[in-house]
Amino acid sequence: MLKTLVFSILLIGCARFQVTPKVPNMHDLSGFAGPKYQESNSICIDGLLTNLGNACDTLVEIQGEGAIKVVQCHKAKKKNNMWDNYTFIVHNTHDLPAPVRSHPVCVDPTSIIYIKERP
């Protein structure tokens, strides 16, 4: 009887707290340009992340390591918004060729951002 009571109390205590698993590559950028803002030394990257943080209703996906990163929003706050329809490819070097079927949207001394329509 005592074991059942203790087990029930533990279950109730655990049920109160919602455990959300950490999703890899997903980031909350809603406060990116807030009081703890740290610039990336790239006007293009800072502008992209700030705009995605303001436009996305969900977490922003950032994939890749090193010179190439892919950034995209999965659901914008407004319907039929460009942030839902495009993937942004960030090159942290000017030495790489442009990705296939993409167009440069921002260029600064440290990076190039390409935009590519999603299928």
pLDDT at 22: 54
Q: Is residue 11 part of a domain?
A: no
Residue 82 domain boundaries: 27-32+40-117
What is the Cα–Cα distance from 97 to 61, expressed in whole angstroms?
A: 23
Q: Is residue 95 part of a domain?
A: yes
Q: Is residue 15 part of a domain?
A: no
Q: Is residue 78 part of a domain?
A: yes
pLDDT at 57: 84
pLDDT at 39: 80
The number of distinct structural domains making up the chain is 1
What is the Cα–Cα distance from 63 to 53, expressed in whole angstroms?
A: 16
Q: Is residue 13 part of a domain?
A: no
Q: List per-residue pLDDT tens for the chain, 119 residues long.
A: 554 444 444 444 444 444 444 556 677 776 666 667 778 888 998 888 888 888 888 878 888 877 888 988 888 888 878 888 899 999 998 999 999 999 999 999 999 999 999 87
